[in-house]
Structure 1
Amino acid sequence: MDTPKSPKLDIIIPAFRGHSQNFLMALDQIAEEDALKRVEGKTNHIIWMAGNFLDMRYAMGNVLGLDEEFEFRDYFFQGKALDENLDYPTLEQLRESFHKISPLVYRKLLEVSDEDLGKAFPMGMNIDFFPETVLNFVGMCIGREDYLCGQIGLMRRILGYEGIKYDFDKNMKY
């Protein structure tokens, strides 16, 4: 495993890499038409979930100093509600964005200092037990990614796909 400059990220690095693997495995073999299905009109579809996952990756990268913009930001920024009138990107387009941003964010996670992680990052939460710092924002993004992978995994089963296979690709370094 790569060693981060900041020991504060010792738990984040394996989570990030695990989420990368889970994300790809959760999307494995999902047909494009199924990726747009909703359950009784109440759930988000897999495309929205995958796009929101990527919005988290880009947000994490931005707070760590990357100047990358998610090309589908207008669809997903900050959990924007699903809009059935929009023509969402395809799973393939989202996978391409994933492979573009993920190695860049991973590199930033390895390079970021404790000092930078401790910097204020106002989120407007105003919760006394939750300091609004870069580190806590990264932690929130990791938590959201975990949630979204679980949601996609559940949708896989609802749509009749096999459960996620945990066949990790040890050569994928992000």
Structure 2
Amino acid sequence: MQQPTSTALNIVIPSYRWHTQMFDNMLKDINAEDAAKRIEGRTNNITWTLGNLVNCRYWLANVLGIEDKDPNDALFKEGKAYDAAATYPTLEEFKKHWHSISKKIYEKLLTVTDEELNEAYEFGMSVEFVEENKLNMVGMAVDRCSYLLGQLGLLRRAVANVGTSYDIDKSIGY
């Protein structure tokens, strides 16, 4: 594994790369019909959850100074609720955007400095024990991705009766 400029990210980068791998595993053996199912009509579905996950990566990219914008931001920004009337992208579109932005973020995580990570970044939640800086926003983004991947694992089992594989694609180096 390449070493990041900031040693503060040594613990973050393995999780980040694991999440990148797990995204593809969450798509494995899931079709568009299953991805659109909602449990008892009350939960988010796989499609929405994948979109929110991609949106989270774009948010992290923006925190780190990468200017790319999520082409589906209007559907997911700030955890926007599932909209049954909306037209959501395909699973393949999500996968394309996920890998495009994830590679750019990984490259930035390797080169970002401690000085940049310590820059103030207003999150807007005013949690007294969370300093609002870029380093903590990286941590918050990794946490959010972990949460969403867990939701996807549960949804896969509930709507398609398939478990999650932990296969690693060695061609994905980010």
Alpha-carbon deviation of 1:165? 1.1
Deviation (angstroms), 1:160: 2.9
Aligned ranges for residues 1-174 of structure 1 at < 5 Å?
1-174=1-174
Deviation at 1:65, TM superposition (A): 0.9
State the shift of 1:161 in Å: 3.4
Q: Distance in 2 between matches of 1:27 and 1:3?
A: 30
Q: Check conservation: 2:30, 2:160, Cα contact below 8 A.
A: no
Moved over 2 A (4+): none
Moved more, 162-171 or 108-117: 162-171
SS of structure 1 residue aligned to 2:41: coil
Tell me, in whole angstroms, the C-alpha distance in 1 between the residues paired with 2:85 and 2:30. Answer: 22
- TM-score after normalising by structure 1: 0.97
User: CA deviation digits over 1:58-91, x for unaligned, max 9?
Assistant: 0111111111011111100110011101011111
Equivalent pair of 1:6/1:113 in contact (CA under 8 Å): yes
Q: Deviations over 1:41-66 (max 9, x none)?
A: 11101111001111110011111111
SS at match of 1:33: helix
Write the letter of the residue equivalent to 2:26.
A
Q: Tell me if structure 2 keeps the 8 A contact 1:121–1:133.
A: yes
What is the alpha-carbon root mean square deviation over aligned residues?
0.9
Contact 1:119 1:134 survives alignment (8 Å): yes
Q: Which runs of 5+ in 1 are unaligned?
A: none
Q: Per the alignment, in what secondary structure is the counterpart of residue 138 of structure 2?
A: helix
Aligned length: 174
Please list every run of 5 or more consecutive structure 2 residues that lacks an aligned counterpart in the other structure: none
Task: Check the 8 A contact 2:60/2:141 in 1, yes or no.
Answer: yes
